Structure 1
């Protein structure tokens, strides 16, 4: 039975996931007036600047190892953001949300490849379900759309990012790692936008969207996620995070002018089912020294 203390961080993480889901149709809309790299550059430059103001002194005291790991994770996350946003230029926001959410499935697969962490049969079955759902969402006739393909690559990079943080979470300050990543995002995306000049948002609405993406969908979500995940089990957090593509589809249909099609419903249902199956499968807890979790089911692929 969940206590009130458990419910508060779970509700906070649900808010984080809903905010993430809202960004897909917002980004797709703003990309009609601002080039992709310019949008990312301005967004993360603002976020990075605010982080420096808020945590600048503490970051100066962070260790060299923390900076190296934060920058490495930030580079991976920056490339993932760039690839995902370019994919959104041609992929529907709802479809992009479901494909991006596959990082939940890809993470245990990468752990198996990199660290030989066994994969249970439920997770192996979830991979098959996810691949089927992805095919339904992505295929245009007998070819995969460019936007969907790029979005899948971003999901792989997001999974790599999660694996990196999983290895370092117990050894470094979570807030310092998050702050350094945001700074890396600001630098990489900002420099990428410089050639040819940077196009800034126009009007109050354009800047309001940019501030929302930088502060609410950037700094606030990172802070809430860090706080919430320090108070609830990682498994519970991951199950909540599987609702991100559902929120993405809901926002895209209600506010983004997209329609609920049989392909979106069928493919999205399979992907969400696969993510829930993967996260609800039995597993052991993280070791005391911050080691990676291993699948507890004895019937595993190893």
Structure 2
């Protein structure tokens, strides 16, 4: 009974992350993106640190460095994603962010010199075709789509970094460090223009919800679930995130559900599934890590 429950929990996490694309787009209309990100991630990191402060004491100096560098990669991803969401639809942002699942084995092959199989290259080509169908207007990609694609690339780099550095017994502490780094980086970038935070509930309710539920809470649920599931099953469940992002975008953000989006979405989700199915054989999976480490590595969707 535990495995089906864990699988359902991951699908719920994917639904929460998919729904955040609409929420983030609305919140960033009220405040500068850096102010929003700083508050969201500092709240999430603070909550996790207060819950289990002793975990941070277990990290060595080198592991603190790994956490800080991973946090910088995550910072760039979130910054690009948040600015990108201001210039594209919620459903489009969700689907392009999902490209990180395809970019990940490519980055692992390039940086870790791990050999890529034919199925991986096919997945990359299929996903690229799907992305083009959804986003290309004429012969150019809009600024929102371009920034979100950069976000997906850095999410992939972040996953590769954690596949190299994360361990099951340090996953919780590294999560706190990374979330804290994202918050501090955004705070520094937003400080020159002054941190401007409205005092009304229309801002703080969604931001606190994002910090507690979609950041701290979702990652803890994911950690619990991935300790009980094979990494491939967990990854397949999480590929539902862009599907939920599209669903919520159409339902709440007045996104138009066109044939191009449907066809492109099918190709991108199919490519993500192909990439993960390719990983079924452990020897062929460049990112086969222990469940808890995989959980920590999956911090890329915000995901938001």
One fold, TM greater than 0.5? yes
SS in structure 2 of the partner of residue 91 of structure 1: coil
1:103-152 deviation per Cα after TM superposition (whole angstroms, max 9, x unaligned): 11111111111223222222211111101011112212221101100100
Indicate yes or no: 2:242 matched with 1:245.
Answer: yes
Higher helix share: 2
1:257-276 deviation per Cα after TM superposition (whole angstroms, max 9, x unaligned): 21211221111111011111
SS in structure 2 of the partner of residue 199 of structure 1: coil
C-alpha displacement of 1:292: 4.2
Matched with 1:183 is: 180
5+ residue gaps, structure 2: 290-304
Evaluate the alpha carbon distance shift between residue 58 and residue 286 of structure 1 in structure 2; reply closer, same or farther with a 3 A threshold. farther
Matched with 1:32 is: 29
Check the 8 A contact 2:130/2:264 in 1, yes or no: yes
5+ residue gaps, structure 1: 295-302
Indicate yes or no: 2:205 matched with 1:208.
Answer: yes
Indicate yes or no: 2:70 matched with 1:63.
Answer: no
Indicate yes or no: 2:193 matched with 1:196.
Answer: yes
SS in structure 2 of the partner of residue 144 of structure 1: coil
Check the 8 A contact 1:102/1:275 in 2, yes or no: yes
When normalised by structure 2's length, the TM-score is 0.90
Matched with 1:217 is: 214
Evaluate the alpha carbon distance shift between residue 261 and residue 169 of structure 1 in structure 2; reply closer, same or farther with a 3 A threshold. same
Q: 1:282 & 1:92 partners in 2: Cα distance? A: 31
Q: Paired residue for 1:168, among 165, 185, 190?
A: 165
SS in structure 1 of the partner of residue 193 of structure 2: coil
C-alpha displacement of 1:228: 1.3
SS in structure 1 of the partner of residue 11 of structure 2: helix
Q: Which has the larger radius of gyration?
A: 1
Q: 1:270 & 1:133 partners in 2: Cα distance? A: 5
Root-mean-square deviation (Å):
1.9
SS in structure 2 of the partner of residue 122 of structure 1: helix
Aligned residues: 289
Q: 1:100 & 1:237 partners in 2: Cα distance? A: 18
Check the 8 A contact 1:41/1:190 in 2, yes or no: yes
Matched with 1:13 is: 10
Matches within 5 A, 1:132-151: 132-151=129-148
Check the 8 A contact 1:201/1:210 in 2, yes or no: no
1:220-277 deviation per Cα after TM superposition (whole angstroms, max 9, x unaligned): 1111111211211111111111111000000111111212112211111110111111
When normalised by structure 1's length, the TM-score is 0.90
Check the 8 A contact 2:40/2:207 in 1, yes or no: yes
Indicate yes or no: 2:156 matched with 1:159.
Answer: yes
Check the 8 A contact 2:55/2:172 in 1, yes or no: no
C-alpha displacement of 1:14: 1.0
